[in-house]
Amino acid sequence: MARITAGIATSHVPAIGAAIDNGKTGDEYWAPVFAGYDWTKEWIRDNTPDVVILVYNDHASAMMLDIVPTFALGFAEEFEPADEGWGARPVPTVINDTDLAGHIAEQLVIDEFDITIMNDIKVDHGLTVPLSLMFGQPSEWPCKVIPLAINVTQFPTPSGDRCWQLGAAIRDAVRSFPEDLTVQVWGTGGMSHQLQGPRAGLINPEFDNAFLDNLTSHTTALRHITRLEYLRQAGTEGIELIMWLVMRAALGKSVEELHRFYHVPASNTAVGHIVLKALD
Amino acid sequence: MARITAGIATSHVPAIGAAIDNGKTGDEYWAPVFAGYDWTKEWIRDNTPDVVILVYNDHASAMMLDIVPTFALGFAEEFEPADEGWGARPVPTVINDTDLAGHIAEQLVIDEFDITIMNDIKVDHGLTVPLSLMFGQPSEWPCKVIPLAINVTQFPTPSGDRCWQLGAAIRDAVRSFPEDLTVQVWGTGGMSHQLQGPRAGLINPEFDNAFLDNLTSHTTALRHITRLEYLRQAGTEGIELIMWLVMRAALGKSVEELHRFYHVPASNTAVGHIVLKALD
Amino acid sequence: MRHRLYPLEDLEDIPGTTVFTAKRSRQAYHLHKFCMSLMDAANREAFKQDERAYLDRFRMSEEQKQAVLDRDFSRLIDLGGNIYFLVKLSNTDGWSTQKAVGSMTGMTADEYAAMMRAGGRSPEGQRSIRDNLK
Amino acid sequence: MRHRLYPLEDLEDIPGTTVFTAKRSRQAYHLHKFCMSLMDAANREAFKQDERAYLDRFRMSEEQKQAVLDRDFSRLIDLGGNIYFLVKLSNTDGWSTQKAVGSMTGMTADEYAAMMRAGGRSPEGQRSIRDNLK
Ligand SMILES: [Fe+3]
Ligand SMILES: [Fe+3]
């Protein structure tokens, strides 16, 4: 039986990827950012899952122009990194687990999620930066990855509560998969940031830290934060935090916080990172 | 306030489109098929809606290869007919009502449907044949059309009951649109047919007629026909009938049957057609 | 969590029927890419000029290419294909959908057309492989 | 039917903020098509060679073209643009995302960078236009 053992959430700022790719992780600006991930890089060496279900948003790299899916499941065998305007990141090809992905698709549709299956996507920094943060610069990623892209950009975006329901359904789907697999669910994006207009640069540490505080045991409040409230409090791009709720719901009722990190800034963004162990 | 006044269901066989385009509607083979639509062509002259929400499935013309959405709403200003391998059908460009489409998208996402917005699609026979059947060969379609494509081909397909829920939500969405608009919902595809394998050519008049009988007032039974049951009873492509359920649910509790037609065959398919008036 | 209303394996219990799944879609991805390329008149022309050379532009399996050259629709279904993609090929050839579909039944085009005119294939004995064995 | 938890108009009540909707996405469809074309190195090269000629390949409005030539990101947002598309342009120029984003704030790049290092823009007074008027 497959089981979800842990969840990881992290911001996925493109500049973090550039700092890694250009060997700047030791720079004065970047060193404090990367220090926040040292614990996790150590921990995950002994806790590498077979599969990561990686919840991210595509940043107008593979979707958003002609097609805007609410929930999109990557179903190709492999995913190459996208060229976001300055060449593709020099990172390994992402390898899917299509058996598990197919099972999850089946089960999600039975559970009345109207998912979209994507048979050909390039994956952008939203997916590859978290992999680099946790696994460094290997020649191959040490596990398979199922990309799950969520529309957080074009309104109407799904509600936080719908994302929670999706996470809970993913949990059920994984637990009903007969193969003996260790699965992690990662939620990416956030924390507070706004990348447009005169209000750009907004950072709300109070909101961010309350979110981190509540993520372990006070999740009801988080489920009911409206889309409007995210925009007001955490900036237009802070709404990416709804993807953390997919991860949290997938872990079940009880979790233990293993590690937490918060830092301002990375480029325009507040960086948040948390590692949660599933107890149920 | 916008209101849904009527619903139309019809098969959307490509050969019917070819018969129209090639002037063969009076041929011995085709005349009985087209006779079944005479009543409706007459009726719709006095009952042309402002907008048709046209529920159809794309037949690997604009989707299905790289992207397989469960529910896809067309959101371009216009849609050209697809070239399905023998040139595009000589029919007018389909013009969208993006105001209403945008409102429906908003409301469906609030109602927890995980729709996909398509900003660039060509529309195939699934959408254009019903328009030709009802409106003939005008130089412009006499109303706007919102394409709503449903995956009925690649498993997992949505359940009939999920389609019913979608129809009910479309009803709510239309009724909460402030503009004074007359809207029809059309469900297309079906009836029994199978286009593959040694079992191709399957036709089940008993199943089809029961479906037509129950569509007006005994809808609970129809909602719970499983995907497996459609395949067993109505053939692999007979499952297109789930799109009729979207139409029926959008009409509300009470409807009056204005017209009905059933004929075998058109090419590989049993042709069914029904016109329902919304009474609520 | 909602439960399946039937075991997934039951989808394989229908006589003469292959259910098109996400997995089969992967198997036929490049075959289907070829089929959809025929939605363009210039591509149809190029295909007609030299079928083999045109097919070699696509990362299809050799078996899939041969089945296309043979217009063996049954085999193409076996190799993951779905009829909605495959009719782009038969349409390119100027075949009717009835001709393409009928070619999978083991009947001649005339026999199949006659069966359809007479009301089509009866569902009797066509619902379940298991039940037929009883 | 679920009801909105807030009036849709409230999305316009946030200071200095434009919410990207399906409607705005339509307005910027061809602008965004241009932006995504820059995900290809050869296209970036062609754009750099002759920006105006390259832009003329796209059915963008004249205002959108001019705003691209001016690298006026505020104006591009006004004209329907979304930052995730627009950064393809700033990335092509070799700008950091911080430079592109900061250019919309009325601050110099150094001022904006300094604000971010000091903890970013406070949300105080930035939550609601209505509340600010009270
Ligand atoms: Fe992001
Ligand atoms: Fe069809």
Residue among A123, A93, A94, A90 at smallest CA distance from A17:
A90
Predicted TM-score (pTM) of the model is: 0.97
- The Cα C17–Cα B239 span in angstroms is 14
On whether residue B279 sits in a domain, the answer given is no
Beta bridge partners of B78: B95
- Ligand lying nearest the CA atom of residue D97: 1
Under a CB-based contact definition with an 8 Å cutoff, are residues A193 and A202 in contact?
A: yes
Residue B125 is a catalytic residue: yes
* Class of domain C20-94 as given by CATH: mainly alpha
What values do phi and psi take at B17, rounded to 5?
A: -60, -45
Residue among B67, B71, B76 at smallest CA distance from B102:
B76
Q: Which residue of C has its CA nearest to A104?
A: C22
Residue among A71, A88, A87 at smallest CA distance from A79:
A88
Q: How high is the mean pLDDT of chain D? A: 96
- Taking only the tens place, the pLDDT of each residue in A109-159 is 999 999 999 999 999 999 999 999 999 999 999 999 999 999 999 999 999
pLDDT of C55 reads 98
- Taking only the tens place, the pLDDT of each residue in B3-46 is 999 999 999 999 999 999 999 999 999 999 999 999 999 999 99
On whether residue A186 sits in a domain, the answer given is yes
Which residues in chain A touch residue B110, judged by CB atoms under 8 angstroms apart? 156, 159
- The Cα B194–Cα B239 span in angstroms is 10
- Taking only the tens place, the pLDDT of each residue in D25-58 is 999 999 999 999 999 999 999 999 999 999 999 9
- Say yes or no to pLDDT of C2 above 80: no
- Taking only the tens place, the pLDDT of each residue in D74-89 is 999 999 999 999 999 9
Measured in angstroms, the CA of D40 and the nearest CA of chain B are apart by 20
Domain locations along chain C? 20-94
**∠ CA(D15), CA(D17), CA(D19), 5° rounding?**
135
- The Cα D94–Cα D99 span in angstroms is 10
CATH number of the domain residue A187 falls in:
3.40.830.10
- The Cα B162–Cα C2 span in angstroms is 13
Residue A218 is a catalytic residue: no
CB contact under 8 A, B15 and C117: no
Residue type, B209: N
The reply to whether B109 touches chain D by the CB within 8 Å rule is: no
Element housing B107 (H / E):
helix B98-110
- Taking only the tens place, the pLDDT of each residue in C10-43 is 999 999 999 999 999 999 999 999 999 999 999 9
- The Cα B145–Cα B122 span in angstroms is 13
Subunits in contact with chain A (3 or more CB pairs closer than 8 Å): B, C, D
- The Cα A10–Cα A190 span in angstroms is 8
Catalytic residue among A12, A59, A103, A193: A193
The reply to whether B172 touches chain D by the CB within 8 Å rule is: yes
- Taking only the tens place, the pLDDT of each residue in C51-106 is 999 999 999 999 999 999 999 999 999 999 999 999 999 999 999 999 999 999 99
Structure tokens at A228: 């409007």
Subunits in contact with chain D (3 or more CB pairs closer than 8 Å): A, B
The residue range of the domain holding B197 is 3-270
pLDDT of C97 reads 97
On whether residue A275 sits in a domain, the answer given is no
- The Cα B278–Cα B275 span in angstroms is 10
The reply to whether D132 touches chain A by the CB within 8 Å rule is: no
Weakly modelled stretches of chain A, pLDDT under 50? none
On whether residue A279 sits in a domain, the answer given is no
How far, in Å, is the centroid of ligand 1 from the Cα of A277?
Answer: 24
Weakly modelled stretches of chain B, pLDDT under 70? none
| Beta carbons within 10 angstroms of residue C78's beta carbon | 16
pLDDT of B190 reads 95
On whether residue B226 sits in a domain, the answer given is yes
- Say yes or no to pLDDT of C1 above 80: no
Burial state string for B206-230 with b = 16 or more CB within 10 A and e = fewer than 16: ebbeebbeebbeebeebbebebbbb
Nearest to A111 among C1, C21, C29 (CB): C1
DSSP state of B66: S
* Chain position carrying tokens 């492989």: C129
Among B58, B65, B70, B155, pick the best mutation site for testing chain A contact (most A Cβ within 10 A).
B70
Nearest to A202 among D11, D20, D120 (CB): D120
pLDDT of A59 reads 98
Q: Which residues surround ligand 2, an ion (CB under 5 A)?
A: B 189
pLDDT of A219 reads 98
pLDDT of D4 reads 80
- The Cα B192–Cα B21 span in angstroms is 24
pLDDT of C3 reads 79
Residue type, B246: V
- Say yes or no to pLDDT of C5 above 90: no
pLDDT of D1 reads 72
pLDDT of C134 reads 86
Catalytic residue among B12, B59, B193, B273: B193
CB contact under 8 A, A76 and C26: yes
Write out residues 44-73 of C within 8 Å (CB-CB) of B. Answer: 44, 73
Residue type, A127: L
pLDDT of C8 reads 87
